[in-house]
A = this chain, B = another copy of it.
């Protein structure tokens, strides 16, 4: 994988008819993590969804250099939002396998489940998971399919301390292998030399 670089310049975000932020610039390279911080409603989640192609870019532009030129940015990104994209009636393994196959992953689901400590629950319906277990299952998606860009919205929410540590380990591995991370967060995520992008305003 060539050294990737994600850049946004002059980005403006409009949601529900209101301008959330404007003229925002940022750049993250491979091996780097960018922590997006700011008050509630400052537009952290909106920025992530914008990179993921889920919120329209009202003005400005977003570019990726060094990635796969045939694929768009969202196609090379993992998005971990507030919703878990899990179907309660499928088992843990079935849920993960589906996403792994749909997103074009190679290996089976079990190694990824083991990586988040859910292997013992593989055959349980996802309906039976606790909040933190659901979150871990979402994280397993990031492991099962390799993609250079990780967009993480409050990734540590609901995770217990061990799981938080395991997540920061996964993030460090991802960075070490040349990936990049953009994470919205209100607290520390266990990365030492992450840069911070602070969004202003909003209650």
User: Which residues of A in the span 162-176 have a Cβ within 8 Å of any Cβ on B?
Assistant: 162-164
Known: A38-B160, A40-B160. A203 touches B128 (CB 8 A): no
Chain B nearest CB: distance from A157 CB in Å? Answer: 5
Contact A120 B203 (CB under 8 A): yes
Q: State whether the Cβ of A118 lies closer than 8 Å to any Cβ in chain B.
A: yes
A132–B42 CA distance with the chains assembled, in angstroms: 10
Q: Could you mark each residue 103-147 of chain A with 1 if its beta carbon is under 8 Å from any beta carbon of chain B, else 0?
A: 000000000000001101100010111111101100000000000
Kindly list chain B residues whose C-beta atoms are within 8 Å of the C-beta of A187: 187
A residues contacting the other copy or chain, number (CB 8 A): 36
Q: State whether the Cβ of A16 lies closer than 8 Å to any Cβ in chain B.
A: yes
Give the residue name and chain of the B residue nearest to A119 (CB). Answer: B203
Give the residue name and chain of the B residue nearest to A38 (CB). Answer: B160
Give the residue name and chain of the B residue nearest to A118 (CB). Answer: B203
Chain B nearest CB: distance from A174 CB in Å? Answer: 22
Q: Could you mark each residue 45-59 of chain A with 1 if its beta carbon is under 8 Å from any beta carbon of chain B, else 0?
A: 100000000000000
Give the residue name and chain of the B residue nearest to A163 (CB). Answer: B40
Contact B133 A40 (CB under 8 A): yes
Kindly list chain B residues whose C-beta atoms are within 8 Å of the C-beta of A118: 203
Contact B160 A154 (CB under 8 A): no
Give the residue name and chain of the B residue nearest to A16 (CB). Answer: B128
A41–B133 CA distance with the chains assembled, in angstroms: 7
Kindly list chain B residues whose C-beta atoms are within 8 Å of the C-beta of A127: 16
Using a CB–CB cutoff of 8 Å, the interface residues on chain A facing chain B are 15-16, 18, 38-41, 45, 82, 117-118, 120-121, 125, 127-133, 135-136, 154, 157-164, 186-187, 202-203
